[in-house]
Amino acid sequence: MHYGYEGKVAVVTGGSSGIGLATVETLLESGARVALCARTPGRLEDVAAVLKRDHGEENVLACALSVLEPQAVQSFAARVEERFGRCDLLVNNAGQGRISTFAETSDEDWRAEYELKLFSQIYPTRAFLPMLRAARGAIVVVNSLLALQPEAHMVCTSSARAGVQNLVKSLSVELAPDVRVNSILLGMVESGQWLRRFAEREDQTQSKAEWYAALARKKGIPLGRLGDPREAAAAIAFLGSKAASYITGAQLEVSGGLSRFI
Ligand code: NDP
């Protein structure tokens, strides 16, 4: 699928794995030049080497950093400006969920989760905003259904994600009309996070296909399966594209029908 990004520059945080990597690939295939970041240099370099081979060295910029380090994020933005001269789309994707009930969650865990969820939005948004404004660009926030439909076994993630959703709405007003701000709300999408949980499964004889199918049944996903990262990437690419030029402050569910609210 081609989303019409010729001449555009996109930045994807957490671009070395899962949904972020699928988004980088989709945007490159759609004609964008793409900058990606992640913390682990080895994996990022391996991924960047393949992306450059497949899409051209000149179209890919990979920088190892944590989105929770404000100076590093500012330097990343400076490198994007120096290399590509603009930024049309920022995809705030970096992060992971935390599984714990209220009883299991320490004060430190609460602080870490709130820091990850909120500042992974705040620092990149602040750093890339001048370029986004100049380009009349867009921000797409990768969030979860947990923001609107909390789960007791993911108590602090759910609550922090509700805060992110609230922030998306405020930003969509404050940054209008220059920059559109939208989010996707994910259900369960196959990625590094789920592979790690699969590796820790109780019944180690269960295959990946069996484990994923049982998970989809247990969660009652109407489409009967977990999502593919490319399906999440498609929603992100759409919201960032010209086709979504009158959409801001919106949330698009990518969940196989998992939500129970209307
Ligand atoms: P993956 O673990 O496959 O990918 C996460 C990516 O984020 C990696 O590239 C990782 O690289 C990077 N990352 C994590 N923390 C940081 C950081 N502080 N700074 C920079 N990069 C970071 O996970 P997913 O693709 O599943 O997750 C993508 C997003 O989607 C996350 O925000 C996640 O919470 C959200 N999400 C996913 C769901 C799912 O079912 N998959 C459901 C709901 C939400 P590295 O570790 O090297 O930094």
Backbone φ and ψ for 160, nearest 5 degrees, come out as: -65, -35
In the reported structure, the alpha carbon of residue 103 is separated from the centroid of ligand 1 by a whole-number distance in angstroms of 25
Q: What is the mean pLDDT of the chain?
A: 96
Averaged pLDDT for residues 191-209: 88
Interval 137-159 mean pLDDT: 97
Q: How far apart are CA 151 and CA 219, in angstroms?
A: 12
**Domain boundaries, position 124:** 9-189+227-252
Least confident span in 46-60, 156-170, 205-219, 223-237: 205-219
**Interval between CA 16 and ligand 1 midpoint (Å):** 9
Question: Which CATH number covers residue 105?
Answer: 3.40.50.720
Q: Which residue has the higher pLDDT, 10 or 209?
A: 10
Residue whose CB lies within 8 A of the most ligand 1 atoms, among 98, 193, 195, for a mutation test: 193
CA nearest neighbour of 98 among 156, 14, 39: 156
How far, in Å, CA of 95 to CA of 79, rounded? 22
Say how many Å lie between the CA of residue 94 and the centre of ligand 1.
Answer: 5
The answer to whether the beta carbons of residues 171 and 125 sit under 8 Å apart is: yes
Q: What pLDDT does residue 196 have? A: 87
Number of domains in the chain: 1
**Residue 92 CB–ligand 1 contact under 6 Å:** no
Query: To the nearest whole percent, how much of the chain has pLDDT over 70?
Result: 100
Q: Before 177, cis peptide (omega within 30)?
A: yes
pLDDT over 90 (residue 194): no
**Interatomic CA distance for residues 33 and 126, integer angstroms:** 21
Residue 159, in any domain of the structure: yes
User: Is residue 167 in some structural domain?
Assistant: yes
Query: What spacing in Å lies between the alpha carbon of 128 and ligand 1's midpoint?
Result: 20
What's the CA gap between 262 and 253, in Å, rounded? 11
Token readout for 95 is 């992060």
203 domain-assigned: no
- Which residue's alpha carbon is nearest to atom 15 within ligand 1? 95
Using the predicted structure, report yes or no on whether residue 144 has a pLDDT greater than 90.
Answer: yes
Any domain includes 37: yes
Ligand 1 pocket test: which of 12, 19, 21 has the largest number of ligand atoms within 8 Å of its C-beta? 19
Kindly state if the Cβ of 19 falls inside 6 Å of ligand 1. yes
**Whether the predicted pLDDT of 195 surpasses 90:** no
- Which residue type is seen at 31? G
CB of 39 shorter than 6 A to ligand 1: yes
Q: Identify the pLDDT of residue 183.
A: 98
Name the token pair of 106. 């320490």
Mean pLDDT (whole number) for 199-224: 92
What would the DSSP string read from start to end of 28-86?
Answer: HHTT-EEEEEES-HHHHHHHHHHHHHHH-GGGEEEEE--TT-HHHHHHHHHHHHHHHS-
pLDDT at residue 209, as a whole number = 87
Cα separations in angstroms, 143 against 168, 206, 236? 10, 29, 11
Q: What is the pLDDT of residues 17-31, one digit of tens each?
A: 999 999 999 999 999
Average pLDDT over residues 61-87: 98
Taking the C-alpha atoms of residue 68 and residue 109, their distance in angstroms, rounded to an integer, is 15
Q: Which atom of ligand 1 is nearest to the CA of 44?
A: 47
For residue 200, being part of any structural domain is answered with no
Looking at residue 128, its pLDDT comes to 99
Q: Is the minimum distance from the CB of 179 to ligand 1 under 6 angstroms? A: no
Task: Let me know if residue 173 belongs to a domain.
Answer: yes
Please check whether residue 198 lies inside any domain of the structure. no
Q: What is the pLDDT of residues 98-125, one digit of tens each?
A: 999 999 999 999 999 999 999 999 999 9
Cβ-based neighbours of 137, under 8 Å, separated by 6 or more: 87, 88, 89, 90, 131, 179, 180
- Rounded to the nearest angstrom, the distance between the alpha carbon of 46 and the centre of ligand 1 is 17
* pLDDT tens per residue, range 238-254: 999 999 999 999 999 99
The reply to whether 146 falls in a domain is yes
Ligand 1 atom nearest 43 alpha carbon: 47
Give the length of the chain: 262
Q: How far is CA 214 from CA 53, 81, 210, in A?
A: 37, 46, 6
pLDDT digits (tens, 9 = 90+) for 86-99: 999 999 999 999 99
Taking the centre of ligand 1 as the mean of its atom positions, its distance from the CA of residue 96, in whole angstroms, is 5
Ligand 1 contacts CB of residue 160 (under 6 A): no
The pLDDT, as a whole number, for residue 74 is: 98
